[in-house]
Amino acid sequence: MKQKKTTKKNRWDDHYTLKARKEKYPARSVYKLEEIQNKYHVIKKGHRVLDLGCAPGSWLLYTADIVGSKGNVVGIDKKPITINIPPHVNIISDNIMSLGEKNAAAVAGPFHVVLSDMAPSTTGNKTVDEARSLSLCEAALEIAKKQLIPGGAFICKIFQGGDIKLFTDAVRVCFSTVKIFKPKSSRKASKEIFIIGFRKKQEENICQVTANGLQ
């Protein structure tokens, strides 16, 4: 008797995973950004956007579609990006925690939006994982402070933990409004949430950058 072929289903596959495959996105994480965008309309046509920790590229593709050909998206990640990207997307292969001089210049703004979906390699130790997540978020915030135009926005993923209030307060220093958002597309077991900063302040010695004509 001829046996039927069976396919082994990944235990992490769900509705969003299947939807991402159908819509040609490399990861289900795109729907987290989509939820944020649908609720807050942070990214607009013509914007310049910096995507920190951009691999495998779902956020790049989604953002590139919104900003259009007159916008620009710059992605940076130490992991390679293997998907086809549109011409108005630029990829930099590097670690944001130790950017070389050349790549540091390449990610120089100004940008309208800075995105960070970065996450550390997890160890299973809650305290260690939360600390590593916080370090990445702090690095992302420092970049946002330097590279965002006044009035720009910041979206950052962080693992929930004891220091989350400290980080949220640090974001409040630089942004007029701060929201905490938990996407429905995040896995139920995930401790991730997103901190969103709106309208970067212009005060000197805090978050001032040169707008270079961007509006």
Q: In whole angstroms, give the CA distance from residue 10 to residue 173.
A: 43
Q: In whole angstroms, give the CA distance from residue 71 to residue 187.
A: 31
Whether 200 is a known active-site residue: answer: no
Contact 187, 211 (CB under 8 A): no
> What is the three-class DSSP state of 95?
coil
Closest by alpha carbon to 161, among 199, 197, 120, 116?
Answer: 120
- Catalytic one of 32, 145, 157, 200: 157
The torsion angle over the Cα atoms of residues 105, 111, 117 and 121, rounded to 10 degrees, is 10
> In the sheet that 48-52 helps form, which strands lie side by side, from edge to edge?
89-93, 72-77, 48-52, 111-116, 148-159, 192-200, 175-181
- The amino acid occupying position 212 is N
Using alpha carbons only, give the angle 65, 97, 184 rounded to the nearest 5 degrees.
Answer: 45
Give the catalytic positions in this structure: 157
